[in-house]
Every structure is written in C-alpha cells, then in structure tokens.
Amino acid sequence: DGGITQSPKYLFRKEGQNVTLSCEQNLNHDAMYWYRQDPGQGLRLIYYSQIVNDFQKGDIAEGYSVSREKKESFPLTVTSAQKNPTAFYLCASNTPGSSSYEQYFGPGTRLTVT
C-alpha cells in the first residue's frame, strides 16, 4: 500500500528537549512538506523540500529544522528554540506539475511539550 507514515502518533516531551518527528513516503513523490495545525486553526507551512538535499523555509520555520537526505524521508526536528511547540504536525507529499498534483497527507503526530 502506498502512502505516508508518520511516527509516533502521540509524542510527549519535556521543555528544553529537541524532538524529531518522522515522515516517510513510498509514493515516489518529489516534494515533501511539514505543516503545523493548532486547535481551531488552519495549516501553517513550516518547511518544504522539492528535491533531495534541498529545502526551503515556510511561513513559521523558526525553531524547526529539517533534512532531506533521501527522497522517501523528510524528518522534522522541533528544537528547544521553538517557543510553543505543542501542536498537531502533518507531513505531506506530492509531485508538482504532475497529473496528480494534490498533496497527500500522513496521519499526523500530536506533540505535547510540558
């Protein structure tokens, strides 16, 4: 089955700790994205990557870092510099310009930092 996996589904961390959220896709998509969703709000773009070894900041990149060493993987690290990290994080992928242009989403990771 093709799709996007995110792990874990729920993650708890103490303030001051870095934490890495996993995102893997087997859809052979070129581009991958990370979004943050806060309660009652829309999706805000954190980072995106259109090809391996390249990524760009989105609207709210401060306090986050990413890497794209493999086409299938786009992990997101939430650093201690992120002032309010508790949120729902969604990973997505697509191939821009293709016939199926829409972004496909993973099940999300709910991060709670106390």
Partner 1 sequence: AQKVTQAQTEISVVEKEDVTLDCVYETRDTTYYLFWYKQPPSGELVFLIRRNSFDEQNEISGRYSWNFQKSTSSFNFTITASQVVDSAVYFCALSETNTGNQFYFGTGTSLTVIP
Q: Please, what is the Cα angle at 69 between 80 and 81, to 5 degrees?
A: 10
Contact flag: residue 88 with partner 1 (CB under 8 A): yes
Contact flag: residue 58 with partner 1 (CB under 8 A): yes
Contact flag: residue 77 with partner 1 (CB under 8 A): no
Contact flag: residue 26 with partner 1 (CB under 8 A): no
Contact flag: residue 52 with partner 1 (CB under 8 A): no
By CB under 8 A, the count of residues binding partner 1 is 26
Q: Which residues would be at the binding site for partner 1 (CB under 8 A)? A: 31, 33, 35, 40-43, 45, 48, 50, 56, 58, 88, 90, 92, 96-97, 101-108, 110
